[in-house]
Amino acid sequence: MQKSIMLPSLIYLFLTFPMILGAVEHAQQIELKKGWNAIYLIVEPRIEDQDISQFLIKDTNSTPIEIISTFSTSSTSTEFIKSEDEPNWKEDGWNTWLRADMKGSFLTNLFNLEAHRAYLVKSSKDYTWNVTGELVNVKKRWNPNSFNFTGFEVGDTGANSISFYNYFKNSLNAQSLMSESIYTMDDGKWVKHSLADTLVEKGKSYWVLCSDSSSFDGAVEINTGNHSGSLEFLDTNTYQSISIRNYFNTPVNVVIELIDNNVPLAIVKKNENFKNILEEVSVQVASFSLQTDENKDIKFAILRTKITDKDKKEGILKVSVQETNQEIFIPISGYGVQ
């Protein structure tokens, strides 16, 4: 006998329009198990001609990925998640790509993969899916009084992993997410778990209940001062800043480092005469603590004289928060003297 879990109006987590951040690429590794997986992309792959098939097979001419589906529209009726062999991705509201040899592949209506979106993925075997794509800036929008299909930007599971209960309970702007339970994909089935018993995991997606309005976008939020969310050092722009605020109700320790970087940068500081001095950085940029609701501004300068050609230089600022296992990636781009 099939067991059904009734969920009140499962509504897709709408996101603001993603802005391309200087087309800086990053690689995301996703471990797929045989069967159904619920994953969360943090990068936006470049898919030519809206052809997901060619994107998946471009290196090996084959792929074990059979189906990719995302929940994309609102549902005004009560939905059900059935505890059975397959998620009900055939229901209204799901956009789906099917591999060409799959039954019903002509019904494919998913043609692109987007960053900061949750997906169901069916694989014919255990498979490491390496996805390279552009980092994009997307601000979460929570749909109130409904379940939201989403994931979170965190690091690998380890000593700094945090439960959903502690993540939401201790975040000043996440009280609407403090329900009794959350739904995770276990062995190809949706399973109900308590927030306290479920870790926030990298690359995974969940059904999360939002009981009221919420602005939660992580315990620590970063503002770059521009709509793109990146640091773009154009010909006339030598300086860029980021602002980091702690919305956690305890102090947090923040580490900022450069990865995959070829943009020569310095932190701008003030000397005893309040004049700017430049402190060049290589890998580790800064490490500091933030009190609850404290904000810290960090100003950067591009060292153009260290760039010997006119090509565009790129890199990534990685911001890690020890207490929440949060990871935030900020694209950097700039040019030398033109």
Answering whether pTM is above 0.85, one says yes
CA pair distance 294, 245, nearest whole angstrom: 6
Q: pLDDT tens across 9-19, in order?
A: 444 444 433 43
pLDDT at res. 159: 82
- CB-based contact 322:289 (threshold 8 Å): no
Confidence of residue 74 (pLDDT cuts 50, 70, 90): low
pLDDT at res. 60: 67
* Mean pLDDT score, 15-43: 79
Chain CA centroid to CA 220, Å: 14
The residues near 235 (Cβ < 8 Å, ≥ 6 apart) are: 335, 338
Per-chain mean pLDDT for the chain: 87
3-state SS string for the chain? CCEEEEECCECCCCECCCEEEEEEEEEEEEEECCEEEEEEECEECCCHHHCHHHHHHCCCCCCCEEEEEEECCCCCCCEEEEECCCCCCCCCCEEEEECCCCCCHHHCCCCCCCCCEEEEEEECCCEEEEEEEEEEECCECCCCCEEEEEECCECCCCCCCCEHHHHHHCECCCHHHCCCEEEEEECCEEEEEECCCCECCCCEEEEEEECCCCCCCCCEEEECCCCCCCEEECCCCCEEEEEEEECECCCEEEEEEEECCCCCEEEEEECCCCCEEEEEECCEEEEEEECCCCEEEEEEEECHHHCCCCCCEEEEEEEEECCCCEEEEEEEEECCCC
The more confident residue out of 54 and 296 is: 296
Q: pLDDT tens across 306-335, in order?
A: 998 888 999 999 999 999 999 999 999 998
CA pair distance 160, 238, nearest whole angstrom: 36
Is pLDDT of 5 > 60?
A: no
Domain residue ranges in the chain: 3-210, 220-334
pLDDT at res. 85: 56
Q: pLDDT tens across 296-307, in order?
A: 999 999 999 999
pLDDT at res. 83: 47
- In total, the chain counts a number of residues equal to 338
* Mean pLDDT score, 265-291: 91
pLDDT at res. 86: 66
Confidence of residue 270 (pLDDT cuts 50, 70, 90): confident
CATH of 220-334, one of 2.60.40.10, 3.10.105.10, 3.30.70.100, 2.40.10.220: 2.60.40.10
- CB-based contact 55:111 (threshold 8 Å): no
Is pLDDT of 233 > 80?
A: yes
Question: Percent of the chain beyond pLDDT 90?
Answer: 64
pLDDT at res. 73: 54
Q: pLDDT tens across 191-226, in order?
A: 999 999 999 999 999 999 999 989 999 989 999 988
Neighbour-count burial of 214, counting CB atoms closer than 10 A to its CB (0-12 exposed, 13-18 middle, 19+ buried): buried
Edge-to-edge order in the sheet of strand 326-334: 231-233, 326-334, 313-321, 252-259, 284-290
Confidence of residue 276 (pLDDT cuts 50, 70, 90): confident
pLDDT at res. 92: 79
Neighbour-count burial of 112, counting CB atoms closer than 10 A to its CB (0-12 exposed, 13-18 middle, 19+ buried): middle
The more confident residue out of 53 and 89 is: 53
The more confident residue out of 244 and 337 is: 244
User: Can you tell me which residue has the tokens 């936006």?
Assistant: 44
